[in-house]
Amino acid sequence: MARPSAYAIVPGDEGRLALVRTTKGWFLPGGGIEPGESPADAVVREVREECGLGLEPGKELGRASEIVRSETEDTWFEKRCTFVLAAVGALGLDCSEDHHALTWLVPEAAVGLFVHESHRWAIERWLARAGEVD
């Protein structure tokens, strides 16, 4: 089953990136795209819901597909992920998902933590492009 998703790469202070830790592991902030929603809109909504962080979405970094298993739904999904660069717009907003913890880590430490390989790929792609001029 196809599941369109959008995730943010959010650089912060001291070269750290925003990550979300849940009971299922470590992820980039973001989640499922709702019908009629753009990837940028989905990232803004999901990140606010998950961790009370307001984002200003920027350019798209890339897209990746990955087959993942959902134990809670007892099914497999083709995660069609769009990765968006974003800047912090506001901190400490109300969030509705208390099982998500916002954590800031250096990219090199984050890469080894992710549950999904596509998140690892997105960080490595972002790091490789860091020296490029737009």
Would you say residue 35 lies in a domain?
A: yes
Residue 62: the pLDDT is: 95
How many structural domains are present in the chain?
Answer: 1
pLDDT of residue 89: 86
Does 112 map to a domain? yes
Residue 44 φ then ψ, to 5°: -60, -50
Contact in structure between 88 and 10 (CB atoms under 8 Å): yes
- pLDDT truncated to tens, each residue of the chain (134 aa)? 899 999 999 998 888 999 999 988 999 999 999 999 999 999 999 999 888 889 999 999 999 999 998 888 899 999 999 999 999 987 666 766 667 888 999 998 888 899 899 999 999 999 998 755 44
| Confidence (pLDDT) at 132 | 54
Nearest to 9 by CA among 38, 30, 31: 30
Q: What pLDDT does 41 receive? A: 96
Residue 43 lies in a domain: yes
pTM over 0.85: yes
CATH number at residue 101: 3.90.79.10
Nearest partner of 129 among 89, 83, 87, judged by Cα: 83
Q: Is residue 45 part of a domain?
A: yes
pLDDT on residue 98? 65
Does some domain include residue 117? yes
Domain-embedded: residue 134: no
> Does the CA dihedral 117-40-45-19 come out positive or negative?
positive
76 domain-assigned: yes
The answer as to whether 51 is a domain residue is yes
| pLDDT value of residue 53 | 87
Domain that holds residue 45: 2-129
29/118 Cα distance (integer angstroms): 13
Would you state the pLDDT for residue 129? 84
